[in-house]
Chains A and B, each alone.
Chain A
Amino acid sequence: MLIELRPTGIDPYSELQRYQTETLGHTGKYGATCSFVGTMRDFNENETVRHMFLDHYPGMTERQLEKIVEEAQTRWCFLDALVIHRVGEILPDQPIVLVAVWSSHRGAAFDACRYIMEELKSRAPFWKKETLKEGERWVEKNTSGY
């Protein structure tokens, strides 16, 4: 399992390939990989967003992400999981988050990846502050993923 907060840009597809090659290796054990990439939009609630700052609570954020992945491990049988989340200044089109789960069969990979992502959205202590054409605003709450 790897959980990482990243103050610089993420290339999610390189990260996936690197983790799969270097950490999982060629074991013949995983038959399914499910990944989710969240990317910054240039709009939100009918406004153009120029850039965004992602605040977090150092220590608690990592701790909550670890708890979420550990909970997923008790609910589904999977081999490994990777969570990388940006912090700091972000521009439109830049990835914000990568969640990936490797399992023997697709059901656990799909379900655990969804679970980790939805729990992250509702429990991991991050806060977005958007810079608009005019002014700034804090995002008040996340939309439901279901």
Chain B
Amino acid sequence: MSIRVRYFGSLREKMGRVDDSLAAEDIDTVSDVWKAVSEGQYLPDRILCAVNMDYADPDAPVKDGDEVAFFPPVTGG
């Protein structure tokens, strides 16, 4: 098992990849996931987060097998 991390919109281009797969060790929250995929950076305020396809706060818990997504403000409609 692992944590799947997905990126959408302009963030996917900035990251240069569509997803990552992380070992769940030392990962407790959404913020921890971001730090692991961004070389320790803090999560920018404007970036939105989801866990298992529901919006989540940066301090929301993450466990092995979860899908975590990061993306910029939405612009549909």
Distance between Cα atoms of A139 and B75 in the complex (Å): 7
- The residue in B53, B69, B71, B74 that gathers the most chain A C-beta atoms within 10 A of its C-beta is B74
Query: Which residue on B lies nearest to A119, using beta carbons?
Result: B77
Query: Which B residues touch A56, using CB under 8 A?
Result: 8, 76
19 A-B residue pairs with Cβ-Cβ distance under 8 Å, sorted by A, are A38-B77, A54-B76, A55-B8, A57-B6, A57-B53, A59-B53, A96-B77, A97-B76, A121-B74, A125-B71, A126-B75, A127-B75, A127-B76, A128-B75, A138-B9, A138-B13, A138-B75, A140-B73, A142-B75
Q: How far is the CA of A60 from the CA of B54 in the complex (A)?
A: 7
Least CB distance, A41 to chain B, in whole angstroms: 12
Instruction: Give the number of chain A interface residues (Cβ < 8 Å).
Output: 28
Say if the beta carbon of B24 comes within 8 Å of chain A: no
Q: Are B72 and A140 in contact (CB under 8 A)?
A: yes
Residues on the A chain within 8 Å of B13, using CB = 138
B29 within 8 Å of A (CB atoms): no
- A122: CB under 8 A from chain B? yes
Closest chain-A Cβ to B38's Cβ sits at a distance in Å of 19
Which residue in A60, A96, A97, A141 is a CB contact (below 8 Å) of B73?
A: A141
A129 to B12, CA, bound (A): 12
- With A60-B69, A140-B72 as contacts: A126 and B77 at CB distance below 8 Å: yes
Binary CB contact string for chain A from 111 to 123 against chain B (1 if under 8 A, 0 otherwise): 0000001001111
A105 to B23, CA, bound (A): 54
Say yes or no: B76 contacts A128, CB within 8 Å.
Answer: yes
A75: CB under 8 A from chain B?
Answer: no
Between A60, A121, A123, A128, the greatest number of chain B beta carbons within 10 A of the residue's beta carbon is seen for A60
Interface residues of B in 22-70 (CB under 8 A from A): 50, 53-55, 69
Q: A124 near B53 (CB under 8 angstroms)?
A: no
Picked from B6, B9, B50, B77, the residue with its CB within 8 Å of the CB of A97 is B77
- Whether A120 pairs with B76 at a CB distance below 8 angstroms is yes
A63 contacts chain B at the CB level, 8 A cutoff: yes
A142 near B54: Cβ-Cβ < 8 Å = no
**Does B2 lie at the interface of the complex (its beta carbon under 8 Å from any beta carbon of A)?**
no
